[in-house]
A and B are shown apart, each in its own frame.
Chain A
Amino acid sequence: MKQGNTQIGQQGRNRRQFLTDAARGVCGMGALGVGLGLMASNARSHAPEMLRPPGALPEAEFLGACLRCGLCVRDCPYDTLKLAQITDPVANGTPYFIAREVPCEMCDDIPCVAACPSGALDQALDNIDDARMGLAVLIDQETCLNFLGLRCDVCYRVCPLIDEAITLEMERNARTGHHARFLPTVHSDACTGCGKCEEACVLEQAAIKVVPIKLAKGEIGHHYRLGWEEKTANQGQSLIPEQIKLPVRRPEDRS
C-alpha cells in the first residue's frame, strides 16, 4: 500500500513536471512567434524614401525572397545600393537606395539583377528602361523654380529618359502676363524611378521626389470610359450608333 502511494506520487510528479514543461514550451514559443510575426508584418511597410533596386519583386514577395547576401550591393558600380542595418526603417539586411543621396545610374547590363542569387531581383528585367523602382513626382509646385517662372530645367535635363519620362509643358505665366512657364511633367509610362531628378534638384529640399508607385499613382474607377481616347481608336467616328430619326412635332403651318 505504501509502495503504491509512492508510485502514484511519482507518477503525479512526472505528470506535473510534464505539464509544466509543456506549458512553458508552448507559451515561450507562442510569445516568440507572436513577437517575430509582428516584426515581420511591420517589416512590410518601410520608409518611402528607401527605394528597392531595379527589378525588385513587389515588396511583399521581396521580403520572402531576398537572402540579404549583399551581392547586388557588391556589384553596383556606383555604390548606390546599401544593406539595411538593424535600426534602419527598412527590413534588416535588405538592399535599398536613397535617391537624394546616390540615385540609380541605370546601367545597361543591370549588374545588380545579374548578381542576385535568389531571384528577388527579377532576372526577367532585361531592359533597364522597364525598371519601376518608384515614380518621380513634382511634389511641391510652390517651390519648384520652373513653376515660379524661372528656367531651372535641371530635373528635365538630367533625366536619362529626357522628353519621355519628364517633359516641359509650356503655358502662359499669368503672374507677369507676358512670359511662359515651362512645367516639368513626369510620365509614369516611362519613368523608372531612378532618382536622378531628385538628386539633381537645386533646392535645399528637392521639389521633385521619387516615391513608391503605390503612393504616387491614383487609380481611376474601372467603369470610367475616356471618350476622347475611344473616339481616336474609333477613327473619329461617333461612339454611339446612329441616332434614331425622331418625328418633328410642331404645328404643320409653321416652318
Chain B
Amino acid sequence: MTLQVGMDAIKSKGYLGTYRFLILRRISQLVTLLLFITSPIAGYWLLKGNLSSSLILETVPLSDPFVMLQTLASGHSPITAMLLGSAIIGGFYWLIGGRSFCSWVCPVNPVTDLAGWASRRLGIRRRFPLSRHLRYWILTLALLLPAITGVLAWELVNPVSLLHRGLIFGMGMGWLVILGIFLFDLFVVPRGWCGHICPMGACYSLIGKTSPLRIIASNRDACYDCMDCYAVCPEPQVIKPALKGNKSDAQVEQGPVILSPNCTNCGRCIDICSVNVFEFGSRFANRMEKHP
C-alpha cells in the first residue's frame, strides 16, 4: 500500500489544519457564486451580472480585464464603466496575486481540482507533452482573433465564463464543455486546462507578475523531501526554485519566495506540509533574508 499524500500533515496538524486553505477556497468560490445567484437578498443586489462584468450593490462596476482586452482588440471603444471596472479588478488581483482569481474565485477550479484529486487517487499516470507556455500563445491568439474577425472569438467557447454564466443564467448543453475539461485533465494532460491552456489564467499571471502577496518557503531548512507539496500543487514547477534555491551557485541563490506568476496562491502547499515550510508573505522577503 502506498502512502497517501498528506498523511504526515494530517498526523501532525489534524484534518482541519491540513485542509484549511482548501476549505476556505471552496467557501470563497461558493460564496462568490451564491452572491450572484441569490441576489437580490432582501432587495439588495450584492452582486449582479457575472464574472465578465458585474456591479456591487448596483454601484461599483467590476469587469474582467481579459474580456476587456478582447473587446479593445476588436476595435470597440469601451465606456467608462468597463474601464473603471477592469481597473478595479486588475488592481485587486495585482495586490493579492494575479492567479488568486484562479484558485479562490474561478468556478472551473473545483472541476480541475477534482480531476487532479481523482487522477492521484486512481493512480492514473499519463504523460502528454504539452508546454506550460502554451497558455500565453493561446492568450495571444485570443487577442488576435477579435482584431481579425471583430468577434470575441474566445468568448464563444471560454469555459470559465460559460460555466459561471451558465450557473447563474442557465446552462443548457454547456455542461458538456465542462465535462470535456474534466476528462481532458483526468486522462490527457494532468492539470491540463488550468496549468497549460487557459488564457484567462495566463492573463491573470501577467497581472500578478509583480504582486506583493506571495507564498514563501520561509522554513525551507526543515524540508525533508516528502514531495507532498509537489503532488498537490497545480503548478509544481514553481516550487523548486523557492524551496531548493540554486545551491550550486551562490550568486544566483533563489528563494525562498515563490516568485513565479503562475503560482495560484491557493495555499495547498502550506497546508499539506507537515513541518510548515510555507507561509503567505511579501515578495520582498527575499531581499530581507539576504540583507539581515
Q: Is the CB of A37 within 8 A of B172?
A: no
| A202 interface hit (Cβ, 8 Å) | no
**Per-position contact with A for B186-197: 1 when CB-CB < 8 Å, else 0?**
000000000000
Using Cβ atoms and an 8 Å threshold, which residues of chain A touch B61?
Answer: 117
Q: Is the CB of B82 within 8 A of A39?
A: no
CB proximity of B178 to chain A, nearest CB, Å: 11
Q: Is the CB of A92 within 8 A of B82?
A: no
Total inter-chain residue pairs, C-beta < 8 Å: 145
| B209 interface hit (Cβ, 8 Å) | no
Using Cβ atoms and an 8 Å threshold, which residues of chain A touch B168?
Answer: 70
Q: Is the CB of A33 within 8 A of B145?
A: yes
Q: Please choose the segment from A82-90, A164-172, A182-190, A234-242 that sits at the chain B interface, where 4 or more of its residues have CB less than 8 A away.
A: A82-90
Give which listed residue, B71, B77, B156, contacts A92 with CB less than 8 A: B156
- Bound form: Cα–Cα A192–B177 in Å: 37
- Chain B contact-residue range equals 35 or more
CB proximity of A50 to chain B, nearest CB, Å: 14
Q: Is the CB of A85 within 8 A of B174?
A: yes
- Bound form: Cα–Cα A61–B152 in Å: 10
Q: Is the CB of B174 within 8 A of A86?
A: yes
Q: Please choose the segment from B13-21, B46-54, B226-234, B271-279 that sits at the chain A interface, where 4 or more of its residues have CB less than 8 A away.
A: B46-54
CB within 8 Å for A29 and B137 given contacts A64-B151, A64-B152, A68-B52: yes
Q: How many residues of A contact B (CB 8 A)?
A: 40
Using Cβ atoms and an 8 Å threshold, which residues of chain A touch B153?
Answer: 36-37, 39-40
Q: Is the CB of A36 within 8 A of B145?
A: yes
Tell me the B61-109 residues at the A interface (CB within 8 Å): 61, 63-64, 67-68, 71, 74-79, 81-82, 85
| B154 interface hit (Cβ, 8 Å) | yes
- Bound form: Cα–Cα A173–B11 in Å: 94
CB proximity of B226 to chain A, nearest CB, Å: 33
Give which listed residue, A33, A60, A123, contacts B79 with CB less than 8 A: A123
Q: Is the CB of A86 within 8 A of B177?
A: yes
Q: Is the CB of B150 within 8 A of A63?
A: yes
Interface residue ranges, B against A (CB under 8 Å)? 45, 48-50, 52-55, 61, 63-64, 67-68, 71, 74-79, 81-82, 85, 131, 134, 137-138, 141, 144-146, 148-157, 161-162, 165-166, 168-174, 177
6 CB < 8 A contacts A-B:
A37-B149, A40-B149, A64-B75, A64-B146, A67-B82, A68-B50
